[in-house]
Amino acid sequence: MEKSSWGDIRGGLFLVIAERALRLSAKFPRHQITWKPDLLLPVENPELWAGPLLFIRNITYPSGSIFGFTVKNENVEETQSALKGLLAPIEEQGILVNSVY
């Protein structure tokens, strides 16, 4: 088989099929259920998590969920209340939040 210096039709054919599929799918209504991220969030120190929490909330909004957990042998009560306080604002916004201490 001889190699040609120009491309073949397969690359262009796949692009046309992908564009047609995109245009066809754009005609259907969008549903919130199609994007439902469930995040497993290991939190070592809840006091340091205030910054990335807004980003995590934006990922899971409106129909996702967050499962936060931490594993510590010392200061269990403090860590428990800190983790609960950390996730409370997200839970108040209607996102499903579970946590284990």
Residue 34 has pLDDT above 70, yes or no: no
Is the N-terminal amide bond of 52 cis, ω within 30° of 0? no
What are the residues whose beta carbons fall under 8 Å from the beta carbon of 67, sequence distance 6 or more? 38, 39, 40, 41, 97, 98, 99, 100
pLDDT of 55-95, one tens digit each?
888 888 878 888 888 887 788 788 888 888 888 888 888 88
**pTM beyond 0.75:** no
List C-alpha distances in Å: 55 to 11, 13, 45, 60, 66.
37, 39, 17, 9, 12
Cα separation of 12 and 10, whole Å?
6
More confident residue, 24 or 34: 24
